[in-house]
Amino acid sequence: MKRLLLMSVVCSALMGCKTVPPPKPLTQLTPQEHAGYVAYQQNCAQCHYDRDTGSLHGPSLLGVYKKPYLQSGAPANDERITWTIQHGRGMMPPLGGQVSPDDIASILAYLKTL
Ligand code: HEC
């Protein structure tokens, strides 16, 4: 019993371990999360999978808020992800000119359902 508990703790500490809960079903999204889903399809989906693992042009954002760190090692939090959207990173273009602060807030709400 004790051993099992220890194993699940070790397991959830490792990346890639399938202990993350699945994304919230699209039919259960709140209005803001749904607005974020729509904005995601317009601004992010061409480069990032949301409900699937694996890389497209950028890393999959499935479970992005369920992991402590982004691909770069930066913390997975609102501040960092907002900054990335506005200013870009590496091969990701800055999107601050095309995605409004309202849309960013909705996109973050949607990302938290993944
Ligand atoms: C034109 C392609 C493209 C678009 C559009 C795009 N991204 Fe990215 N994104 C990338 C690439 C490529 C990377 C990897 C950058 C790197 O680390 O060099 C990335 C990285 C990221 C990261 C990880 C940053 C880190 O610190 O590791 C996040 C989070 C992210 N993108 C979110 C988004 C969101 C949200 C949107 C929509 C608002 C979006 N991206 C739109 C290509 C894109």
Query: What is the pLDDT at residue 20?
Result: 76
* Helix 101-111 × helix 78-87 angle, to 10°: 130
Q: Does position 72 have pLDDT exceeding 70, yes or no?
A: yes
Q: How far apart are CA 105 and CA 99, in angstroms?
A: 10
- 36: domain CATH number is 1.10.760.10
Query: What is the pLDDT at residue 3?
Result: 62
Mean of all residue pLDDT scores within the chain: 90
The reply to whether 99 falls in a domain is yes
Q: How far is the CA of 39 from the centre of ligand 1 (A)?
A: 14
Query: What is the pLDDT at residue 10?
Result: 52
Does the CB atom of residue 109 touch ligand 1 within 6 A? Answer: no
Torsion of CA 28, 62, 54, 5, to 10 degrees: -110
Mutation test of ligand 1: which of 33, 56, 62, 89 has the most ligand atoms closer than 8 Å to its C-beta?
89
Query: What is the pLDDT at residue 33?
Result: 98
Q: What is the 3-state secondary structure (H, E, C) of 37-59?
A: HHHHHHHCCCCCCCCCCCCCCCC
Q: Does position 5 have pLDDT exceeding 60, yes or no?
A: no
Q: How far apart are CA 16 and CA 4, in angstroms?
A: 19
Q: How far apart are CA 8 and CA 1, in angstroms?
A: 11
The reply to whether 47 falls in a domain is yes
The reply to whether 16 falls in a domain is no
The reply to whether 85 falls in a domain is yes
Query: What is the pLDDT at residue 26?
Result: 97
Average pLDDT of the residues in 71-98: 97
- Structural domain tally of the chain? 1
Q: pLDDT (tens digit, 9 = 90+) per residue, 58-69?
A: 999 999 999 999
The reply to whether 13 falls in a domain is no
The reply to whether 12 falls in a domain is no
Range of the domain at 90: 24-111
Q: Which of residues 51 and 20 earns the better pLDDT score?
A: 51
